[in-house]
Structure 1
Amino acid sequence: MNELIEAGKVHCANCATPLEGEFCHHCGQSMHSVLKPVHHMLEDGMDMFLHVDGRILHTVPPLLTRPGFLTMEYFSGRRQRYVAPFRLMFVLCLLAFFAMHLAVNRVMEGQGVNLADAQHVDEDAFADARTPQEVRAQLAEQLDGLAVSRRVTPAVAHPALDTSERQLRAMADKRLVALGAAPLAPGAAPVPAASVRTPAKPSDKASGPTHVESKLAGKKIEFAWLPAFVNERMNTYVQRTLANLKELSNRDPAVRQTARDRLTTGVFSVLPQAMVVMIPLFALLLKLFYFFRRRLYMEHLIVALHSHAFLFLALLLATLLGMLAGWLRPHAAWAGHGVNYLQTAVLLWMPAYLLVMQKRVYRQGWPMTLLKYWCVGWCYFWLLGIVLTVAAVMGAGH
């Protein structure tokens, strides 16, 4: 009779624990060696990518269409096939604000800001001119700036630039008449600015942070109850913010554009951190309003993570649909309007989703759910306004 001999067990290379599977139950290390041929590494990489992609496919559709489903699955212990709540929220937050940043830049580089720049004419542009030669020199400088704007802006802004040029010429003629000189002939080019030496304006040349710091010398903000480094940091933000805001009113279009880009980039760089701050605050609100439901704070935190993950996903979709509608409208207006309706549906689904999710997770009647939904939303609205205001101020100081 043949004897049954127990096969030798494989031990973990890290802690020498006998292995019962592909991973050590004591330290978690894999039994597979990292020293393998390149083609095996490529196979492992593809397997990892497909596994993550599979979890995304199992996570995103119910997140968008089934309120509260992922949260209830997480509470039930079925978590392996879904992306972790914090990772899901954080990735969608970054993607949403990245898309919104692109959309804002597209609007600023397109119609909205360029038209505003084109129509920005200083009413006192020639008030400091004391001679007709200075008026003509300043007009030439202003027209040179408009010429630069025509080269860097799309054709949609050119009519507004023409309006600005007519306004500048009318103001120059008015100043010339006040100085006792003949107005410019229609369409005549003024004397180039380089041919007349005019006194430089400090506000036009010294619009950077150095000029602002010199004006604020001796006027720093100090709070005795704050550490010195906090006061110093706060004053730095104030100086940078004033410098950026000052450059927004500069006559040079390039300086204004640079200041706008700096402000926009600074604000969007701090928005993700601000929203991360909002999540524990939202969970605290849920804990307070559902205090008698005897749920742990961690459960409310999971609800907050999934709620914000959905909001960021909806904002991402709405932003992408808005950009798609803007691209389709010149080519196929009917398709652009259809995409706009879809964008509106996504925006309307956001508050309805949160209401249904709150009802399914906390399992209270509709009257109490509606009351708590309104109270939580009202408190969250004001907290969000405060946090976003602080974030905007910090971003403006970049």
Structure 2
Amino acid sequence: MSHSPIRKDKTCLNCRHVVEQKFCPNCGQENTDSRKTFHHLFIHFFEDLTHYENAFWRTIKNLLLKPSSLTKEYLSGKRLSYLAPVRLYIFISFVTFLMIAMFPVHVNDEVNESHKSENIKNQASSHTNSLKDDKNVQALLNSESISQEDKKAIENVLSHPKTSDDSLINLGYKSVNQIDSIQKYGPESKKLSAFGYWINRKIQIIKDQNTGREALDKFIESFIHNLPKVLFIIMPFFAFFLWIFHNKKRWYYFDHGIFTLHYFSFLLLIFLILFSVDKIATLLNYGFINFISGCITFIGVIWAFYYFFPAHHRFYGESRILSFTKSIVLFFINSFFILLLLLAFAFYTFINLH
């Protein structure tokens, strides 16, 4: 709270309402001088931080250690003592994004020279697939309808035939040009489907531009960076499944939504803590620190998986057996649904990888 003197003018600067005491009865703004010295600004910052911490640390403590307590307190009307659910989720998301931006997954910028030279050779060499059975090949080579580069590609393919593969993804290609050659000049039996051509070409582009380690690191970095967005998309569906499994007269969708916000805030907070611990351990790189980090990670992961069961039982107030049964069913339903969304997002991350 500010210690600035009260203004002599009793008119609120915000809403022009008459202010008899320190705070405006209409809008709640403090009726103090709006022009502050640097000293006051400095002191005011720490006062606000301390005031915020009172609610913040109480919220974090209950969120981590007392499953469903925040939800029950919020729905019972005790809301000023804790951070609001939406604000809490946004705050934790912001800090998570910030930490990920500050400490991204390391990508090795040094590309192996042999890998580079192999890519150059493969890009310059011709492509793949056996064209021996194509009776139009010789006529194509004798015609003037294709470039000399394509003719050379076909001749090399003829001298180095490749056996067909019926699988959707084939990691045996050497370059993008090889894949293009199959699709352009190969017999119909050897050509890929539209989707097979697209996905194999995408994989080959990634292979040509990155080492295996680089591609994996980039994928993990992109996936982790966007994980909070995925959780935000999942939340309304999570609350919907809760609504289906519980008494519609006693519980509104809003109640399930608040429970979901707190639960996902917990998951995001656990992720943030484990991510921070891992980065600190990596920076210090001491045996004992790494051991402690491993223990914290193990405990955090176990607690993250177990947390939903006591939270569900305490919030909905059902018998332990019924609550545990519903929790198991909900856990598997939501896990399956979340897995589908994560796979969809992983695929989205893959197609945007370069």
Q: TM-score range by the shorter chain?
A: 0.5 to 0.7
Distance 1:43 1:354 in 2: 41
Instruction: Structure 1 unaligned segments of length 5 or more: list them.
Output: 1-7, 131-200, 216-237
Q: Are the equivalent residues in 2 in contact too, given 1:72–1:361 (CA < 8 A)?
A: yes
Distance 1:85 1:338 in 2: 31
Which residues in structure 2 correspond to 1:1-398 (within 5 Å)? 10-19=10-19, 21-96=21-96, 99=99, 105-106=105-106, 109=108, 203=176, 245-250=203-208, 253=211, 257=214, 263-292=219-248, 294-326=250-282, 331-332=286-287, 334-398=288-352
Distance 1:386 1:369 in 2: 25
Q: Are the equivalent residues in 2 in contact too, given 1:267–1:392 (CA < 8 A)?
A: yes
CA distance 1:245–1:93, shift in 2 (3 Å): farther
Q: Are the equivalent residues in 2 in contact too, given 1:10–1:18 (CA < 8 A)?
A: yes
Query: What's 1:142 paired with?
Result: none
Distance 2:14 2:300 in 1: 51
Distance 1:16 1:102 in 2: 45
Query: Any idea what the Cα deviations from partners look like across 1:63-121, whole Å, max 9, x if unmatched?
Result: 11111221222122222232221122233234446656777724x549xx999x99999
Distance 2:42 2:264 in 1: 35
The answer to which of 306-315 and 76-85 deviates more is: 76-85
Q: Are the equivalent residues in 1 in contact too, given 2:63–2:69 (CA < 8 A)?
A: yes
Q: Are the equivalent residues in 2 in contact too, given 1:11–1:18 (CA < 8 A)?
A: yes
Q: Are the equivalent residues in 2 in contact too, given 1:9–1:18 (CA < 8 A)?
A: no
Q: Alpha-carbon deviation of 1:289?
A: 0.9
Q: Are the equivalent residues in 2 in contact too, given 1:279–1:304 (CA < 8 A)?
A: yes
Seq. identity, %: 22
Query: Any idea what the Cα deviations from partners look like across 1:147-195, whole Å, max 9, x if unmatched?
Result: xxxxxxxxxxxxxxxxxxxxxxxxxxxxxxxxxxxxxxxxxxxxxxxxx
CA distance 1:12–1:338, shift in 2 (3 Å): closer
Distance 1:104 1:244 in 2: 24
The answer to which of 59-68 and 388-397 deviates more is: 388-397
Pairwise CA RMSD of aligned residues? 4.4
Q: Are the equivalent residues in 2 in contact too, given 1:249–1:256 (CA < 8 A)?
A: no
Query: What's 1:146 paired with?
Result: none
Letter in 1 for 2:78: R
Letter in 1 for 2:346: A
Q: Alpha-carbon deviation of 1:22?
A: 3.5
SS at match of 2:266: helix
Q: Are the equivalent residues in 2 in contact too, given 1:358–1:369 (CA < 8 A)?
A: yes
CA distance 1:118–1:304, shift in 2 (3 Å): farther
TM-score, normalised with respect to structure 1 = 0.58
Letter in 2 for 1:287: W
Distance 1:44 1:266 in 2: 39
SS at match of 1:82: coil
Query: Any idea what the Cα deviations from partners look like across 1:279-317, whole Å, max 9, x if unmatched?
Result: 121111111111346122221111111101111111222
CA distance 1:348–1:260, shift in 2 (3 Å): closer
Distance 1:102 1:350 in 2: 24
- Count residues in correspondence: 284
Distance 2:208 2:264 in 1: 39
SS at match of 2:231: helix
Q: Are the equivalent residues in 1 in contact too, given 2:228–2:268 (CA < 8 A)?
A: no
Query: What's 1:136 paired with?
Result: none
Distance 1:25 1:69 in 2: 32
Q: Are the equivalent residues in 1 in contact too, given 2:123–2:176 (CA < 8 A)?
A: no
Letter in 1 for 2:12: C
TM-score, normalised with respect to structure 2 = 0.64
Q: Alpha-carbon deviation of 1:47?
A: 1.9
Q: Are the equivalent residues in 2 in contact too, given 1:85–1:306 (CA < 8 A)?
A: yes
Q: Alpha-carbon deviation of 1:369?
A: 0.4
Q: Are the equivalent residues in 1 in contact too, given 2:240–2:253 (CA < 8 A)?
A: yes
CA distance 1:74–1:21, shift in 2 (3 Å): farther
CA distance 1:119–1:70, shift in 2 (3 Å): farther
SS at match of 1:291: coil
Q: Are the equivalent residues in 2 in contact too, given 1:267–1:396 (CA < 8 A)?
A: no
Distance 1:290 1:352 in 2: 21
